[in-house]
Amino acid sequence: MTLDRDQRISEVVEREQSRLLNFIRRRVPDARDAELEGRSFEEMAAATGVSVSTLLSRKRYAVRHLRERLRRVHDESTKA
């Protein structure tokens, strides 16, 4: 049984969000999601010790990767 398109998209988004959060957790093991959510990149950099440019680079990578994954989900769903 194949997953419907919306569920697949949600799963892709959740995986990519998890990957980005895991990157931050590896840098600062005691960082809590609630402590970083809604903060600016400058605040996250100060809290994690990771430079703003590194955080922005990881965000760009995550968005690019998410876009590619969503494009694949879309292409697969339009072929059916």
Q: How far apart are alpha carbons 4 and 59 in whole angstroms?
A: 27
- From 76, 77, 68, 75, select the one nearest 16 (Cα to Cα): 68
Q: What is the tens place of the pLDDT at every residue in 31-42?
A: 555 566 788 888
Please report where in the chains the tokens 């969000």 appear, as a residue.
17
| pLDDT mean over 2-23 | 76
**Residue 6 CA to its chain's centroid (Å):** 18
CB of 47 within 8 A of CB of 68? no
Question: Left if phi > 0, otherwise alpha if psi is -120 to 50, otherwise beta: which for 50?
Answer: beta
Total-model pTM: 0.56
Give the pLDDT of residue 64. 85
Q: Band of the pLDDT at 30, cuts 50, 70, 90?
A: low
Give the pLDDT of residue 1. 42
